[in-house]
Amino acid sequence: MGSYAKATMTGFVCRLCSEHKKSVIHFYSAKAQELELLRKLTLLPITIEKYDNLPKTICHDCIEKLNLQYRLIERIRKSFEIQQRHRLFHSNGRCPLECPLYGIENYLQQRNVK
């Protein structure tokens, strides 16, 4: 049996916020795979390596924040794609029916008037 003073509790420390939590999810667990945590973590300016000596867990608060960030980035990417396609349809300055943003100008004008 080892010394309690030398024991480390890295399994209960969140890798992102460094706080001790009672409930965490391990990055390589089935639940983490279901939540696609490793893919979402690639959005952050950190690297997660399977065999480094840092915590491999994330708390539920950080998962919520990570999901919010992920949804925002996905929304921005989709919007950017629509805007890029929108530009391709305009040769005369008018928005043709085939344009992904067709009718958006009228919608925006109606919102500003009311």
pLDDT reading at 38 higher than 50: yes
- Alpha carbon distance 60, 44 (integer Å): 17
Task: Check the annotation: does 14 bind a ligand.
Answer: yes
- Alpha carbon distance 27, 33 (integer Å): 8
Please tell me whether the overall predicted TM-score, pTM, comes out greater than 0.75 for this model: no
10-113 topology per CATH: His-Me finger endonuclease fold (3.40.1800)
- Alpha carbon distance 83, 108 (integer Å): 15
* pLDDT 10s digits, 45-64: 999 998 999 999 999 999 99
Percent of the chain as helix, strand, coil, to the nearest 5? 50, 10, 45
Domain ranges of the chain: 10-113
Task: Check the annotation: does 95 bind a ligand.
Answer: no
Say which DSSP state 42 is in.
T
**Residue partners of 19: CB distance under 8 A and separation at least 6:** 13, 59
